[in-house]
Structure 1
Amino acid sequence: MKVPLTVLVVDDERPTLDELSYLLGRDPRVAEVLTCDSATETLRMLREIEVDAVFLDVQMPGLTGLELAQVLARFREPPPIVFVTAHDQHAVKAFELQAVDYVLKPVRDDRLAEAVRRVVGVVEGVADRGPAGDLQVPVELGGVTRFVARSAISYVEAQGDYARLHTDDGSHLVRTPLSQLEDEWGPAGFVRIHRSLLVSLAHVAEVRMDAGRCTVVVGRSGASVELGVSRRHTRQLRDLLLKRAGS
């Protein structure tokens, strides 16, 4: 593959399809823009031609964008995928599918240009296709999407239907409930220590017991935080930490 790119835009809404095609067609790094309005048409087209990237909506009738991405991931040479959607709650799942980027509608020129830049990096082999063992979590800050490595997150705090991700450098609010993150991040070493807290075992520096009350210290010494562990989660946490230390 080479730059300029041949890209495929997939969206079941014609106005969005036309707008994305127009914006991508103005980018000098894009040579050709193809379009599809369904997952079925997309699969049919990709059997006949090779594209350098797929710009894919999430909410579509029939196969959703996430389901289509799972099918494309089984291709011998899966195309890089950029999700373009009005729904930010699917971002975690999208990056588990190794999406190159996740762009929110309405799409801004500069944000789409950044997505193309990331595609170019993948195509030219100077950037990873997606998380290689370390999920990149998209967070919004002042209208700009940043990416926080999951390995940098020391603990997660529930805030209603949202969750606040804490790192040594600050915190970020994401529209994902704590229960969902617990299910999805459990294999990566995040465990529940309280009904409103998940902690990364890799960031636990100390476990303290005082009069039967358990707390853990997470983070670096200069930015450490002491968190309370509920009684029902204390034994499980200690067993997991002992197992981790012995592995």
Structure 2
Amino acid sequence: MNAPARARGRFPLRLEQLRAAPAKPLAAAPGPQGIGLDSHGVRERLLQRLQAEGLRDARVLAAMRAVPRHAFVDTALAAQAYEDTSLPIGLGQTISKPSVVARMIELLIAPQPAGKPLRLLEIGTGCGYQAAVLAQIGRFVVSIERLKPLHDRARENLAASRTPALRLVYGDGRLGHAPNAPYDGVIAAAGGDDLPAAWLDQLAPGGRLVAPMLDARSGRQALVVVDRREDGSLARSEHEAVKFVPLKSGVD
């Protein structure tokens, strides 16, 4: 991606480096050539499938159009990057299905009017794909990863974008990230049998949390949405079944 000549930014960005700026499409990282994965047509076919399945938010569509998913997966799996499937990224973790990414982000930003500058918190950076999509939508995004090798990999994957809107943090996701709270949205890429209090405490009035959570009655995971009303009270709803890796505390 072309940019004015200047020193390259590094992750995590210091707060003084952050500024409000429109997100830009990500340049594809070096990867497989000659297989058409850098073609916008490939991404468009995926988006058409997602729209046929119910995706409507123009902000989510534009963000997913701008981010090359194949740049975030191993070369051996790149040919499957635009199939609606999760793919392994190492250490027992996966990059979520595009349909799940789209659904969760659409739920996350649904209460927020178009054009509002959003502050978002992601729990579980993984390879950095969803963080990249969120950075296309939010004015400022903090993404936390507890596994150091994945944190480092996400930094490499996202280095080419050099966006000041995204801050990567190595730390315990269950603690959220209080220094930059409150957030208009909190989204988790791992599920447990509870919602950490820190996530709810760091949610701004009018904000929304979207996370997978284990249903004690059925033993299955489902998407849970929690809205913080303007008066500070919380409203919770449960949505469709999902399957995410377990939410863990601490760092490795």
Q: TM-score, normalised by structure 1?
A: 0.27
Larger relative contact order (CA 8 Å, sep ≥ 6): 2
Report which of the two has the higher share of helix: 1
Bigger strand fraction = 1
Larger Rg: 1
